[in-house]
Amino acid sequence: MLECNWRDGKWETTHIKPYGPIQVEPSCKVFHYGQAIFEGMKAYKDEAGDVFLFRPEDNWKRFNESAKRLAMPEVPYEVFVEGLKTLVNLDKEWVKYGEGLSLYLRPFMIASENGVAAAPSTEYKFMIVMSPAFAYYRGEVRVIIANQFSRAADGGVGYAKAAGNYAASFYPNNLAMEEGYQQIIWTDAASHEYIEEAGTMNIFVRIGDKLLTAPSNDRILNGVTRRSVIQMAKDHGIEVEERRIRVSEIKEAAQNGELKEIFGSGTAAVIVPIKGFKHEDFKYELPVIENDYATNIKAALMDIQYNRTEDKHGWRVKI
């Protein structure tokens, strides 16, 4: 693991050491005031044994956008990106070769000052931990489109990869799971009329041959996979619209047969096809179609990640 502490207004020396526990005081500010952000990334191995990161600068930039919104210090490129490269290089053997295998990387930062005064911490700890990851399959995914609970407010922290956003989603998600649904597609808190994201995934909707996704704003995480999916879709000649999507539009498309696919995008599974959804009393099962966007775009993205194809956008970074 990698560890770097921020004290007296600056980052100290970065240390790489074996994974192990850290000592913190019970008054450590992260426990009380929740300044905690993270990124999720993966390292991939190709047939020749070379190891690659995928768009690490994008994660670094977003990490620092999250840091700013949570009143935390920005982490330098050398610590975050070069740190990742050094760490992965040391543990290269843990990046396994094979379909869907990877090494999951978790850069994160927490407030580490001790004290219970409600104010931003004056000390922070940045760390990177890693874990081997298998091909991610969570079974069939059906979702509830939210009509009561919310994930984020206008002018809030929804766009940041902030720990508190996840904690806020667990209870509504548990209620959804009790009804037999695996995830929630969040809607805007003001009207619950427009879809936003799924908490751990951005959401794409295919109506006819057009691919729609909600625009990134201060409530919606601007996912690296989201942007990659949009680019891949365009590369495949698919028309993509980034715009607000009404729940009623999705339901109408379902009723008139124009709704072809809904899928989520994220680092963990790249793309997760949604098999069905529920909104209030309306339930719908997505059709099984051939040559679907989800499968094609996922394959195209994984070909880039695993160095099986040309990387014309310069997304792969060789370790």
Task: Give the footprint of a second copy on this chain (CB under 8 A).
Answer: 1, 19-27, 30-36, 38, 40, 68-71, 104, 106, 108, 110-111, 116, 118-120, 127, 129, 131, 146, 148-157, 162-168, 170-171, 173-174, 189-190, 192, 199-200
Sign of CA dihedral 223, 229, 232, 237: negative
- Least separation in angstroms between residue 111's CB and a second copy is 8
Query: Cα(31)–Cα(124) distance, rounded to whole angstroms?
Result: 13
Between strands 240-242 and 183-185, the pairing is unpaired
Our CB check for a second copy shows the closer of 118 and 288 to be 118
In the complex, the smallest distance separating the C-beta of residue 147 from a second copy, rounded to whole angstroms, is 9
| Residue closer to a second copy (CB basis): 21 or 314 | 21
Phi/psi for 138 (5° steps) reads -105, 20
Q: How many Cβ atoms from other residues are within 10 Å of residue 91's Cβ?
A: 17
CB of 266 to a second copy, least distance (A): 10
Task: Give the separation between CA 289 and CA 40, rounded to whole angstroms.
Answer: 31
Phi-psi sector, 202: left (phi>0), alpha (psi -120 to 50), beta:
beta
Looking at the Cβ atoms of 13 and 23, the one nearer to a second copy is 23
Q: Closest CB to a second copy among 34 and 276?
A: 34
Residue 244's alpha-carbon distances to 50, 182, 188, 211, in angstroms, are: 41, 24, 10, 12
What are the tokens at 153? 């407010």
State the minimum distance, in angstroms, from the CB of residue 233 to a second copy: 25
Smallest gap from residue 118 Cβ to a second copy (A) = 5
d(CA 201, CA 271): 9
Nearer residue to a second copy within complex by CB, 196 or 261: 196
Least distance (Å) from a second copy to the CB of residue 189?
Answer: 4
Q: What are phi and psi of 184, to 5 degrees?
A: -115, 135
Residue closer to a second copy by CB (options 188, 261) is 188
By beta-carbon proximity to a second copy, the closer residue of 135 and 190 is 190
State the virtual CA torsion across 301, 181, 40, 241 in degrees, nearest 10.
Answer: 50
Q: In whole angstroms, how close is the CB of 93 to a second copy at the nearest point? A: 20
Q: What tokens appear for 54 in the block?
A: 């995928």
